[in-house]
Structure 1
Amino acid sequence: MQDGGKKQSFIIVVLVIVLIFGGIGIYLLLSGRKPAQVTEDVPTIGPQRGAIGFVEPTTTVKIGSKEVSKGNFQKVEGGLIYYEEAGTVSTLPLTVDEIAVNRTDQPLATATELDYTQIKKVQVYNSETIIGKIPENEPIVVFAAMVGDALTAHTVALATASCPQ
């Protein structure tokens, strides 16, 4: 009868092992499932971005901060842009890789805001190729951003009518 007891013990051990592995498998299977997220479609009113008739919410930027300043262009030299602002010559370093020159139909001499919808052409230069592209004493708007510890000019806007090209 000892063979019967060993058989019974063996069957019990196998059943316990099967139950343990089965429990672990079911736990892993159920824990891997995430509850389905319910999403609601929100109806939109009017045309979406990229569609005909879509109007950008803000198309102007106020001129008069250190990041968006206005003046009369003097020169570009040694990676710096010089412009006269209210009787004072201001200097900003230019970004090394690219400077955008925005040609606008807007008269900039008396502008207090730059209207993006009036920009007609954008040309990209670097700090060397921009030399000679902006006429001297031309009203410009200079856009700058902090790069490291320095305020650096990355975009210049000027009137299309005054562009040599």
Structure 2
Amino acid sequence: MQDGGKKQSFIIVVLVIVLIFGGIGIYLLLSGRKPAQVTEDVPTIGPQRGAIGFVEPTTTVKIGSKEVSKGNFQKVEGGLIYYEEAGTVSTLPLTVDEIAVNCTDQPLATATELDYTQIKKVQVYNSETIIGKIPENEPIVVFAAMVGDALTAHTVALATASCPQ
């Protein structure tokens, strides 16, 4: 009888161990799977981008901050752009690799916002090749961003008629 009791106890212990390892295995197997996500198409109202009648949600940027300022172009020299803003000459370093020149049909001398829909051409220069491309005293809008610790100009907008060819 004692052999039978030991045998039953051994079988029960083995079954409990198998159940524990089986449960852990099933848990790990199922937790690795993620349920398939159901996606549904949301119908859009109105014309899509590229279609006639589509209107961009925001097409203007306000002029008058450190990042978006305007003035009359003076010169580019030594990696800096100089422009006169309300009687004061402002200077910003230019990005080294690319400076975008946006040619716009918008009159910039009196502009308080720059309208992106009026930009007709974009030309890209670096801090050396842009020298001599912008006429002196031309009204411009300068876009700048923080690069490291310095506010650095990366884009200049000017009238299409004054854009470099």
Calculate the TM-score normalised by the size of structure 2.
0.85
Once residues 109 and 7 of structure 1 are traced to their aligned partners in structure 2, the CA distance between those partners, rounded to angstroms, is 99
Once residues 16 and 71 of structure 1 are traced to their aligned partners in structure 2, the CA distance between those partners, rounded to angstroms, is 82
- Larger displacement relative to structure 2 (73-82 or 86-95): 86-95
Following superposition, the deviation at residue 103 of structure 1 comes to 0.6
- Deviations 1:62-114 (CA, angstroms, capped at 9, x unpaired): 21222111111110000100111122211111111111100111121222211
Q: Tell me if 1:75 matches 2:90.
A: no
SS of the residue aligned with 2:128? Answer: coil
Once residues 88 and 26 of structure 1 are traced to their aligned partners in structure 2, the CA distance between those partners, rounded to angstroms, is 74
Following superposition, the deviation at residue 29 of structure 1 comes to 4.1
Following superposition, the deviation at residue 132 of structure 1 comes to 1.0
- Larger displacement relative to structure 2 (21-30 or 96-105): 21-30
Once residues 63 and 27 of structure 2 are traced to their aligned partners in structure 1, the CA distance between those partners, rounded to angstroms, is 62
Following superposition, the deviation at residue 145 of structure 1 comes to 1.4
- Deviations 1:25-79 (CA, angstroms, capped at 9, x unpaired): 3333454455666666543211334555321111111212221111111100001
Once residues 21 and 93 of structure 1 are traced to their aligned partners in structure 2, the CA distance between those partners, rounded to angstroms, is 66
Once residues 163 and 33 of structure 1 are traced to their aligned partners in structure 2, the CA distance between those partners, rounded to angstroms, is 58
Once residues 46 and 139 of structure 2 are traced to their aligned partners in structure 1, the CA distance between those partners, rounded to angstroms, is 38
- Larger displacement relative to structure 2 (6-15 or 140-149): 6-15
Once residues 103 and 120 of structure 1 are traced to their aligned partners in structure 2, the CA distance between those partners, rounded to angstroms, is 6
CA RMSD for the aligned pairs?
2.4
Once residues 134 and 32 of structure 1 are traced to their aligned partners in structure 2, the CA distance between those partners, rounded to angstroms, is 60
Once residues 37 and 43 of structure 1 are traced to their aligned partners in structure 2, the CA distance between those partners, rounded to angstroms, is 19
- Larger displacement relative to structure 2 (35-44 or 74-83): 35-44
Calculate the TM-score normalised by the size of structure 1.
0.85
Query: Kindly tell me: are residues 124 and 4 of structure 1, through their superposed partners in 2, closer, same or farther at Cα, counting changes over 3 Å?
Result: same
Unmatched runs of 5 consecutive residues or more in structure 2: none
Counting only pairs closer than 5 Å after superposition, residues 1-165 of structure 1 correspond to structure 2 as 4-32=4-32, 41-165=41-165
Once residues 63 and 3 of structure 1 are traced to their aligned partners in structure 2, the CA distance between those partners, rounded to angstroms, is 94
Identity within the alignment, %: 99
Moved over 6 A (4+): none
Query: Kindly tell me: are residues 25 and 55 of structure 1, through their superposed partners in 2, closer, same or farther at Cα, counting changes over 3 Å?
Result: same
Once residues 35 and 13 of structure 2 are traced to their aligned partners in structure 1, the CA distance between those partners, rounded to angstroms, is 36
SS of the residue aligned with 1:58? Answer: coil
Unmatched runs of 5 consecutive residues or more in structure 1: none
